[in-house]
C-alpha cells in the first residue's frame, strides 16, 4: 500500500519489546510497513499528505496470528456434540468425504471472514481430506484467502492410513503415499512464496499418528526440508491418541515424532495437551512450536495443555482456532481469554497474564510460523499488520488497563484491521467481501453437502 497512514491518540500494546506500551501513542504506516511507534502525537513533519486515523478510545495491537485451523469444517458445525475426538472424527469423516471445490470455497470464505473480524491478519489452514473427484480443494481455499485479503499459510495435509490398515479414518477418505507426495510437491511449487512480505506460504502436514503411516511422516519431512518449507501435524491431543501410539508404535506420541526427526525448529504441532515435563523441555531445546487450541480442547473434552510450563521451557507457543466443527465460534480473539482461563484453572491465578495471552495470539504465533522477523509485534520495519480495538464501549469502558480490557473482557469485533497497511476491516465491517453474501453461500453449500451425503448414503 503506497502512501503514509497515521494512527494517533490510541493506547498501544506493541508486544515483544521493553517499553512496548503507550497510554496515548501513535503509529506511522508507510508503504505497507510500520515506520514509527511512539508516545504522544505524530511529529508534525510526518503529517503532510498523510491519512490520519483517530485512535482515541482504541487499543492498537499487532494483528493476531492463527496457528491451526480446518477451514472446510465451517460447512459441518454443530455435529457430534457429546463426542470426544475419536467419536467426533468417526461421525464426521463420512460427511467430509462429500466435500467438493464449491463447498471448500464457501467454507473457507466464511472462516477467513470470521477470522478477519476477530482481528486476525495471518492464518494457517490444515486441510487433509481430499476425496477423489472433489476438484482442486487447495486452490479453492487459496483463492478465498486472496479474496478476503488475509496473509495465508495453508498446509497440504494428508492421510494414508485407513481402517483396513489399522487407522481411524475410513479407507474412502485416505490417499496413497505416492499420490500425496506428488500433490504436496505440486502445492509447494505452485503456491509457496518465500519472499519478504509474502501473503502465501505453504507447509506440509500429515494429519495425525492415527491416520498416517511412518513412511508418510518420514517422506513428508524429507520433501519439506528439500523444498525449504515448514512441517505441521496434530500431536498428543487426547488420551486415546496416546494409547493408540503405545499400542501401535510402542512409544508415546512425542517419542514417535522424535524417532521420525520431527522434533525440530522447522516444525509446529497442534494441541500437545498430553506432554510430560521431559517432552516439554525437549520441545523447548529444539525450538519446536505448539499451536494451543483451548476452545476446541474444551469442546472435545481433550484436557488442558501445559502452556505455562511450555512458556517456561522456551517453547514457541501460539494460538489456534482449530476445526470450525470443534470450535463453532471460529474467532481467534476469544482464544486469548480461553487460554488465560484454562491456564489458571490448571495452575492458579498466576499461571498466565493478560499480556502473555496477547503475546500467544501475536508474536507466539509468528514464531510458530517462522515469521517473527516480519509480524507479531508493532516495531519499525515490520509489516503493517495492525488491529485497532474499540475499548470505550459499554463492555470495556472504565477498565484502566486496556490489555486487561481486551483479554479479560467480552471479545469484541476488531474495529479496524490492517494487513500490510491495507484496511481489510473498517468500522467493524469487512471491506473486501460481502459478509451477508458469504453467509448465504455458506448456507447453500451446507445444504448441498448434506444432500450429497444423503445421496451417497442411500446408494
The range of the structural domain enclosing residue 48 comes to 4-62+379-427
- What residues pair up with 398 in beta bridges, in sequence order? none
Low-confidence ranges of the chain (pLDDT < 70): 1-2, 18-19, 459
| Amino acid 46: pLDDT | 81
| Amino acid 1: pLDDT | 43
In a domain, 449, yes or no: no
| Amino acid 266: pLDDT | 98
CATH number of domain containing 163? 3.20.20.140
Q: Are residues 29 and 153 in the same domain?
A: no
Choosing from 348, 368, 388, the residue where a domain stops is: 368
Q: Are residues 51 and 10 in the same domain?
A: yes
Q: Are residues 363 and 417 in the same domain?
A: no
CATH number of domain containing 56? 2.30.40.10
Q: Are residues 126 and 261 in the same domain?
A: yes
Please list, residue by residue across 429-447, b when 16 or more beta carbons sit within 10 angstroms of its beta carbon and e when fewer do.
ebebbeeeebeebbeebbe
In a domain, 441, yes or no: no
The rounded distance, in Å, linking the Cα atoms of 369 and 316 is: 10
In a domain, 451, yes or no: no
Q: Are residues 142 and 216 in the same domain?
A: yes
Q: Are residues 135 and 13 in the same domain?
A: no
| Amino acid 458: pLDDT | 76
In a domain, 458, yes or no: no
The 10s digit of each residue's pLDDT in 424-452 is 999 999 999 999 999 999 999 999 999 99
The rounded distance, in Å, linking the Cα atoms of 335 and 319 is: 7
Q: Are residues 153 and 9 in the same domain?
A: no
| Amino acid 289: pLDDT | 98
Q: Are residues 32 and 93 in the same domain?
A: no
Nine-digit cell at 448?
A: 448441498
| Amino acid 459: pLDDT | 66
Domain count, the chain: 2
The 10s digit of each residue's pLDDT in 364-383 is 999 999 999 999 999 999 99
In a domain, 434, yes or no: no
| Amino acid 24: pLDDT | 95
Q: Are residues 203 and 256 in the same domain?
A: yes
The rounded distance, in Å, linking the Cα atoms of 159 and 211 is: 5
In a domain, 205, yes or no: yes
Q: Are residues 249 and 177 in the same domain?
A: yes
Amino acid at each position: 500500500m503506497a502512501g503514509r497512514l497515521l494512527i494517533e491518540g490510541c493506547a498501544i500494546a506493541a508486544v515483544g519489546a521493553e517499553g512496548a506500551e503507550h497510554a496515548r501513542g501513535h503509529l506511522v504506516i508507510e508503504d505497507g510497513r510500520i515506520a514509527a511507534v511512539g508516545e504522544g502525537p505524530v511529529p508534525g513533519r510526518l503529517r503532510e499528505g498523510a491519512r490520519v486515523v483517530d485512535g482515541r478510545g482504541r487499543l492498537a495491537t499487532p494483528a493476531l496470528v492463527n496457528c491451526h485451523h480446518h477451514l472446510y469444517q465451517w460447512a459441518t458445525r454443530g455435529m457430534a456434540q457429546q463426542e470426544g475426538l475419536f467419536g467426533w472424527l468417526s461421525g464426521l469423516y463420512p460427511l467430509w468425504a462429500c466435500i467438493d471445490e464449491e463447498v471448500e470455497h464457501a467454507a473457507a470464505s466464511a472462516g477467513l471472514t470470521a477470522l478477519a473480524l476477530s482481528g486476525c491478519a495471518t492464518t494457517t489452514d490444515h486441510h487433509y481430506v481430499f476425496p477423489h473427484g472433489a476438484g482442486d480443494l487447495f486452490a479453492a481455499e487459496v483463492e478465498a484467502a486472496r479474496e478476503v485479503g488475509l496473509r495465508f499459510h495453508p498446509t497440504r495435509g494428508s492421510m494414508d492410513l485407513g481402517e483396513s490398515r489399522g487407522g481411524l479414518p475410513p479407507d474412502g477418505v485416505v490417499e496413497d503415499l505416492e499420490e500425496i507426495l506428488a500433490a504436496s510437491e505440486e502445492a509447494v511449487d505452485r503456491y509457496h512464496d518465500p519472499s519478504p512480505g509474502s501473503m502465501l506460504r505453504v507447509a506440509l502436514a500429515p494429519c495425525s499418528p492415527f491416520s498416517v503411516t511412518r513412511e508418510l511422516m518420514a517422506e513428508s519431512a524429507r520433501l519439506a526440508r528439500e523444498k525449504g518449507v515448514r512441517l505441521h501435524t496434530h500431536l498428543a491431543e487426547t488420551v486415546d491418541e496416546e494409547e493408540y501410539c503405545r499400542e501401535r508404535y510402542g512409544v508415546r506420541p512425542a517419542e514417535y515424532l522424535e524417532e521420525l526427526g520431527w522434533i525440530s525448529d522447522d516444525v509446529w504441532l497442534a494441541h500437545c495437551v498430553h506432554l510430560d515435563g521431559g517432552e516439554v523441555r525437549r520441545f523447548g531445546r529444539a525450538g519446536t512450536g505448539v499451536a494451543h487450541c483451548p476452545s476446541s480442547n474444551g469442546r472435545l473434552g481433550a484436557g488442558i495443555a501445559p502452556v505455562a510450563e511450555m512458556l517456561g521451557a522456551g517453547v514457541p507457543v501460539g494460538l489456534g482456532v482449530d476445526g470450525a466443527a470443534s470450535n463453532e465460534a471460529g474467532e481467534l480473539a476469544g482464544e486469548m481469554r480461553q487460554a488465560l482461563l484454562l491456564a489458571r484453572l490448571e495452575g492458579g491465578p498466576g499461571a498466565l497474564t493478560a499480556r502473555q495471552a496477547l503475546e500467544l495470539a501475536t508474536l507466539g504465533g509468528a514464531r510458530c510460523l517462522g515469521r517473527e522477523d516480519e509480524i507479531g509485534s508493532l516495531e519499525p520495519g515490520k509489516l503493517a499488520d495492525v488491529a485497532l480495538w474499540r475499548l470505550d464501549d459499554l463492555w470495556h469502558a472504565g477498565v484502566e488497563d486496556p490489555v486487561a480490557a481486551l483479554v479479560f473482557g467480552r471479545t469484541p469485533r476488531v474495529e479496524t484491521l490492517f494487513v500490510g497497511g491495507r484496511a481489510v476491516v473498517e468500522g467493524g465491517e469487512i471491506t473486501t467481501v460481502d459478509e451477508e453474501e458469504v453467509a448465504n453461500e455458506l448456507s447453500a453449500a451446507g445444504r448441498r453437502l448434506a444432500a450429497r451425503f444423503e445421496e451417497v448414503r442411500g446408494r
